[in-house]
């Protein structure tokens, strides 16, 4: 692993330990964000995205959650997706090396929130599956402005923290502890969202 990543990973991991969540800007370069947007559009135009559901039954309820998603599988990943997954795996190994969370696998999907859609306050935990330890979101939005909205709101014990979905930014938080929500935006809002798991 390059030394630059080591410093960045140390920083986000200590934030997670101290406050339950961490933010790392520059997890993707501008060039990588551009390439992932091209992949995103190709998948979208091929109509591979599906309306997201709200539980393992995948019930679609648009007044709770309005995003469209596409699961990303390592076996089908193209070059830039593979580069992203490899970096994520390096992050996962680094978390294991420093935090003993026993992470073993991950699940990840592209997400598109059309203008005005949202995801109401929730916890990323299924009733019958406690495998999700860390939630992560990597944003793909180029030139996002504060008045575009679309913040991720983290509900912490003493305050609500609002995070703009800036391209290349990685947000990570404890899946079973931090309730959160996605506010509506004035532009389509794109991300790669997933979970690091301690069971397969
Ligand atoms: O896109 C985000 O900022 C959060 C998405 C989210 O909460 C989820 O997919 O469970
Ligand atoms: Fe969530």
Ligand 1 centroid–CA 181 distance in Å is 7
Residue 200 confidence (pLDDT): 83
Residues of the chain with pLDDT under 70: 1-3, 56-58, 127
Q: Which residues line ligand 1 (CB under 6 A)?
A: 111, 119, 124, 137, 152, 180, 182, 191, 193
Q: If you measure from the C-alpha of residue 2 to the centroid of ligand 2, how many angstroms do you get, rounded to a whole number?
A: 30
Q: Which CATH architecture has domain 3-197?
A: Sandwich (2.60)
Looking at the CA of residue 193, tell me the nearest atom of ligand 1: 9
pLDDT reported for residue 61: 82
Residue 125 pLDDT: 78
Q: Which ipTM was obtained for this model?
A: 0.99
Residue 59 has a pLDDT of 75
Q: What is the per-residue pLDDT for 189?
A: 98
Q: What pTM, to 2 d.p., does this model score?
A: 0.95
Q: How far is the CA of 8 from the centre of ligand 1 (A)?
A: 22
The closest residue, in CA terms, to atom 10 on ligand 1 is 124
Q: How far is 11 from 2, CA to CA, in rounded Å?
A: 15
- Please report which helix (H) or strand (E) contains residue 110, including its range: strand 105-113
The total of other beta-carbon atoms located within 10 Å of residue 159's CB is 8
Domain residues of the chain, as ranges?
3-197
- Report how far ligand 2's centroid is from the alpha carbon of 193 (Å): 9
CA of 67, closest atom in ligand 1: 9
Give the position, in ligand 1's atom list, of the atom nearest the Cα of 152.
3
Going through 14-76 in order, the beta strands assigned E by DSSP cover 21-24, 50-51, 68-71
């Amino acid at each position: 692993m390059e030394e630059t990543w080591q410093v960045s990973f140390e920083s986000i991991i200590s934030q997670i330990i101290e406050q339950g969540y961490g933010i790392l800007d520059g997890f993707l370069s501008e060039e990588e964000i551009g390439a992932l947007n091209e992949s995103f559009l190709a998948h979208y135009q091929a109509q591979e995205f599906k309306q997201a559901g709200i539980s393992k039954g995948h019930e679609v309820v648009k007044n709770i959650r309005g995003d469209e998603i596409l699961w990303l599988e390592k076996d089908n990943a193209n070059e830039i997706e593979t580069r992203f997954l490899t970096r994520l795996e390096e992050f996962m190994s680094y978390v294991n090396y420093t935090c003993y969370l026993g992470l073993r696998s991950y699940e990840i999907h592209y997400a598109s929130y059309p203008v005005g859609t949202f995801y109401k306050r929730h916890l990323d935990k299924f009733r019958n599956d406690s495998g999700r330890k860390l939630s992560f979101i990597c944003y793909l939005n180029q030139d996002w402005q504060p008045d575009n909205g679309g913040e991720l709101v983290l509900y912490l014990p003493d305050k609500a923290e609002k995070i703009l979905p800036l391209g290349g930014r990685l947000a990570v938080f404890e899946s079973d502890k931090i309730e959160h929500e996605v506010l509506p935006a004035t532009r389509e809002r794109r991300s790669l969202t997933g979970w690091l798991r301690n069971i397969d």
